[in-house]
């Protein structure tokens, strides 16, 4: 079986680096793997970013910054704390941009929790009961009802959990994927610790904090 060698130019590598911020060697490897296809190379880098994020997920994040974002007109305000491993990374433009983007996203998308694990048992059971009743009312068998409920719960997480929501500036990626890409670029674990969202006229504000989770068994 013959294989086709694709020559990757320095200009292609430079272009990919400018688009993603990834190191030059990683860009060249991604382009080689994607056979020169720029869009596919970006996908390759994103997948590697997620992999890097998974490896760094257990590392302590005791540095970072708190940022504020006030929506046009002063009707909505957000405070968010995003953590990283070192003060050096916390002071980089890339990290500051990420924190700003997350604060802006919270203002626009109004999440109620940071991640799936932070959803309260009460909220979880309430939504499941609603979806189960809706599905059962259609007359479908129990096993089908449960599949429908599972699908609707995933949609529920996407609506109310910050990390599951599509990024407001790029709907093709989630906030967790946005963070993973920065982890891959900056080389440190990054985590959203907490946020508060205020809206003029609302009875109360949204305050969310990441809760520690118990290790999961195999």
Task: Compute the average pLDDT of residues 40-53.
Answer: 77
pLDDT per residue over 103-129, tens digit each? 999 999 999 999 988 988 898 889 888
Cβ-contact 194, 98 below 8 angstroms: no
Joined tokens for residue 131: 């979806």
Domains in the chain, CATH or no CATH each = 1-56 (1.10.8.10), 60-119+161-218 (3.30.479.20), 120-156 (1.10.286)
| Per-residue pLDDT, 2 | 46
- Split at pLDDT 50, 70, 90, the class of 202 is confident
| Per-residue pLDDT, 21 | 63
Q: The dihedral of CA 163, 89, 83, 191: what is its sign?
A: positive
Q: The dihedral of CA 83, 88, 90, 95: what is its sign?
A: negative
pLDDT per residue over 71-102, tens digit each? 878 899 999 999 999 999 999 999 999 999 99
The secondary structure of 157-204 as a DSSP string is HHHHBGGGSEETTEEEEEHHHHHHHHHHHH-S--EEEEEEEEETT-SS
- Number of C-beta neighbours around residue 119 at 10 A: 19
3-class secondary structure, 69: strand
Q: Which residue has the higher pLDDT, 23 or 150?
A: 150
Residue 70 β-bridge partners: 77
Q: Please give the mean pLDDT across all residues of the chain.
A: 85
- Split at pLDDT 50, 70, 90, the class of 57 is confident
- Split at pLDDT 50, 70, 90, the class of 68 is very high
Q: Which residue has the higher pLDDT, 4 or 207?
A: 207
| Per-residue pLDDT, 61 | 79
Total-model pTM:
0.70
The secondary structure of 82-98 as a DSSP string is EEES-HHHHTSHHHHHH
Task: With a cut of 70, say whether residue 217 has pLDDT above it.
Answer: no
What whole-number percentage of the chain has pLDDT above 90? 39
């Amino acid at each position: 079986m013959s294989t086709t060698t694709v020559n990757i130019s320095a200009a292609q590598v430079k272009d990919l680096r400018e688009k993603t911020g990834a190191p030059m060697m990683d860009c060249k490897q991604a382009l080689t793997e994607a056979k020169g296809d720029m869009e596919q190379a970006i996908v390759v880098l994103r997948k590697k970013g997620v992999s890097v994020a998974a490896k760094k997920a257990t590392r302590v994040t005791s540095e970072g910054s708190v940022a504020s974002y006030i929506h046009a007109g002063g009707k909505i305000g957000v405070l968010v704390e995003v953590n990283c491993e070192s003060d050096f990374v916390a002071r980089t433009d890339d990290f500051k941009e990420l924190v700003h983007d997350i604060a802006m996203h919270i203002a626009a998308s109004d999440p109620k929790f940071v991640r799936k694990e932070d959803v309260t048992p009460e909220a979880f059971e309430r939504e499941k009961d609603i979806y189960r009743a809706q599905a059962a009312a259609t007359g479908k068998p129990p096993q089908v009802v449960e599949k429908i409920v599972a699908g609707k719960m995933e949609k529920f997480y996407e609506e109310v959990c910050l990390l599951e929501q599509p990024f407001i500036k790029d709907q093709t990626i989630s906030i967790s994927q946005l963070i993973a890409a920065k982890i891959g670029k900056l080389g440190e674990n990054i985590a959203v610790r907490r946020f508060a969202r205020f809206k003029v006229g609302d009875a109360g504000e949204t305050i969310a904090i990441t809760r520690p989770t118990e290790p999961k068994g195999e």
